[in-house]
Chains A and B, each alone.
Chain A
């Protein structure tokens, strides 16, 4: 019969329309309330009805490998021997491998001897230029630059807020443990310990035992392990 195709198609629309309400009735209006754990039903593998996530009241958490603007890893504040130390050695690989060239690094210099020191004096990322490709994190030999998960960076004025300097970029190692525990564990296993690769090498060279790698879930656990072997600075 002529017109059947249209009715068949409309049937699909109605099915979708009703499916959303069936779910609403099931949760009796509490579908989007915090504490009601039906997120699996809405965002799982076989959801029915509405896919809506009530942003900004609720957000889909991003997976570990999600990459947004980079940040610089520094030691935690409560690190026993070197609190707040940069992991970055200002080797410049991230600036060279950056496709849109959004990273500027000023290499640190010893004020007396004028020889380069393995710490950046300044570090800038223009986040308007950054294309979130993740190369800096991928090719950093010191695990010192990582991709962050914070995508809510809107601001009123690009000239003053969109060039991130070293202060703004630096985040403690525990932040990296929080957003990407699996990756952080893999990297620590590769390095052979939870410390910066140079610290591990230095301890080995001095005949000391570096903090051995044992799986950890949080930054606090890592810090506990470090505290067991390292003495605070005198």
Chain B
């Protein structure tokens, strides 16, 4: 009944919120009635209004993820999928806007949630959806002059073999052929028809530089009495301070930053399309390569997303308690590893070259030794499986000599972990704290620099330590708990100044909270010894995943990592994800970089970037 009036509620349930939207917008808001799908489908003509209502009246102030799906061959339309949350906690309001594949266009939500900025540019770049209202609609991961939109289902890459793995040529008649023999160098790239290759290097970035307020001619301008020119400087892509291949185009007035724009995509490998070619299980080791410092938590995020889908089908058994305990153990150790690196590298960026970084990662070695003995690899762990983990903890962390001059080590695993968690990790954290926190140089360089107010931190969809250092106590482990976090006793670390120093301090807080969690994990490990770690069928290498969508998100060390998966489950053939999207915290946290750097000196830009703690494997995907 439309005459029913629903009071606007900032804290009501998702159902109430949807009912409110339906009452307000009538036909423009419909339930998504496809099997296995949830949320609402919004008429794109009214999308902006609906979004504004969600934010202002219903309290969904945080846009976590915005991504596109191409349903070519199923219903032949494109769809933008948004996940909005309340920073007070709770689950998501999923809303979608559909558009035709030809001349695809969806209104930009950048006015409602500025955090949509990069994500809409990504959707434009990879899917070719236009976003009227977006002030800076250009490619973000691919380069100017790239032909096509690589995530569209009808786009084929240079060394294209087949739509889905496993490839037939591998078995049973699989003589090895190198891809480059089939597709010679030079023919592995396509350009738009109207592109003049001779001029590509001249004008390829004209739009970027003109966006910086400058054309080819530099206009003198007068400020503070001195006649100066603005200067455009490229920081990166090849520079140690950028933590990889990342570029910042900076307009400078003297040494002061007037405008900054991040340029990325140098490490883009179309991870999401690789993921859609892969079968479900194939993707697990690929997630290791996203944020390669914290591969264990990437594994967990993906496993959770797929488990959500599998749970809709029959014959699904949730992971056992021991599996969840081991998962949390791994993830919290990963958080400590990551924050040690983050602090060490922040000090690198401040000019203390590598002494603090090396002290910071000394303890990391022991954690990696443990990962290596358990999962088989130090960084590319590939440890989680759907419905459990790959292997139980080994009884002993023991090496076997088989190369010349091997030095063998042998520890009892539980003793090793107990010593690590109770003694060496807290000691190393305290020592690093003593080493750095009171240093006058660090305080002078970081306090009050790169300030990000809480309302901006939320609006820009920043996540993790960046969000919490600005005074927003939002942590997925508490806001929408998963695994065994509800029964664990820990606090969400929060700091209120929102500058580099607080983003540095909050990483110490989080490491200490992680140690607190790990201390509670140890007795649980003892108690569950010998219990099953995997509830699925070990022999199934192509798990059946029912039709539907899911969004699995975890609190990664760098922020909220989300996996949006769509299964269109072909019951006959091998099963591959129809859509596999990674909501990468490093990528979205960069949205706020420009605003944080404005007005600071160029040397501070490096420190501000370091305090966000990005990793390019995840940013570029």
Chain A interface residues toward B at CB < 8 A? 2-6, 8-9, 12-13, 16, 34, 39-40, 43-46, 51, 53, 56-67, 90, 92-93, 95-99, 101, 103-107, 116, 122, 124, 126, 131-135, 138-139, 141, 147, 149-150, 152, 159, 163, 178-182
Give the residues in chain B near A103, CB-CB below 8 Å: 170-171, 174
Cα–Cα distance between A205 and B523 once the two chains are bound (Å): 47
Give the residues in chain B near A93, CB-CB below 8 Å: 541
Interface 1/0 per residue, B422-455 and A, CB below 8 Å: 0110000001001111111111000000000000
A107 touches B441 (CB 8 A): no
A63 touches B373 (CB 8 A): yes
Contact of A60 among B170, B374, B399 (CB under 8 A): B399
With A101-B166, A106-B172 given, is the CB distance from A133 to B380 under 8 Å? yes
Contact of B366 among A45, A64, A159 (CB under 8 A): A45
B409 at the interface (CB under 8 A from A): yes
Which are the 10 A-B pairs with shortest beta-carbon distances?
A5-B438, A104-B174, A61-B399, A61-B406, A133-B285, A107-B172, A92-B171, A99-B282, A96-B166, A63-B373
A135 touches B170 (CB 8 A): no
Give the residues in chain A near B539, CB-CB below 8 Å: 139, 141
B407 touches A131 (CB 8 A): no
Considering only CB atoms and an 8 Å cut-off, how many residues of chain B contact the other chain? 71
- Starting from the known contacts A116-B172, A131-B285, A134-B376, 13 additional A-B residue pairs (CB-CB under 8 Å) come to A9-B439, A13-B355, A34-B405, A43-B407, A46-B419, A59-B404, A59-B405, A60-B399, A61-B402, A61-B407, A99-B165, A124-B175, A141-B539
A60 touches B283 (CB 8 A): no
Give the residues in chain A near B173, CB-CB below 8 Å: 106-107
Give the residues in chain A near B438, CB-CB below 8 Å: 4-5, 8-9
B377 at the interface (CB under 8 A from A): yes
A96 touches B380 (CB 8 A): no
B281 at the interface (CB under 8 A from A): yes
9 A-B contacts, Cβ less than 8 Å apart? A12-B435, A57-B405, A61-B402, A92-B172, A104-B174, A105-B174, A132-B380, A133-B284, A179-B400
Q: Name which of B200-208, B209-217, B389-397, B596-604 contacts chain A.
A: B389-397
Q: How far is the CB of B1 from chain A (nearest CB, A)?
A: 53
B359 at the interface (CB under 8 A from A): yes
With A58-B407, A60-B409, A101-B170 given, is the CB distance from A134 to B394 under 8 Å? no
With A45-B416, A132-B377, A134-B382 given, is the CB distance from A149 to B403 under 8 Å? yes
B174 touches A106 (CB 8 A): yes
Cα–Cα distance between A150 and B366 once the two chains are bound (Å): 22
Cα–Cα distance between A20 and B261 once the two chains are bound (Å): 45
B524 at the interface (CB under 8 A from A): no
With A9-B436, A60-B409, A101-B167 given, is the CB distance from A66 to B377 under 8 Å? yes
B488 at the interface (CB under 8 A from A): no
Cα–Cα distance between A133 and B295 once the two chains are bound (Å): 12
CB-nearest residue of chain A relative to B381?
Answer: A133
Cα–Cα distance between A98 and B435 once the two chains are bound (Å): 46
Q: How far is the CB of B181 from chain A (nearest CB, A)?
A: 10
Cα–Cα distance between A62 and B399 once the two chains are bound (Å): 5
B144 at the interface (CB under 8 A from A): no
B391 touches A133 (CB 8 A): no
A122 touches B175 (CB 8 A): yes
B408 at the interface (CB under 8 A from A): yes
Give the residues in chain B near A3, CB-CB below 8 Å: 440
Give the residues in chain B near A61, CB-CB below 8 Å: 399-403, 406-409
Q: Which of B352-395 touch A at CB < 8 Å?
A: 355, 359, 362, 365-366, 369, 372-377, 380, 382, 390-391, 394-395
Interface 1/0 per residue, B258-282 and A, CB below 8 Å: 0000000000000000000010011
Give the residues in chain A near B402, CB-CB below 8 Å: 61, 149-150, 178-179
B398 at the interface (CB under 8 A from A): yes
B541 touches A139 (CB 8 A): yes
Give the residues in chain B near A105, CB-CB below 8 Å: 170-172, 174
CB-nearest residue of chain A relative to B401?
Answer: A61
With A61-B403, A179-B400 given, is the CB distance from A95 to B440 under 8 Å? no
Cα–Cα distance between A40 and B408 once the two chains are bound (Å): 9
A9 touches B435 (CB 8 A): yes
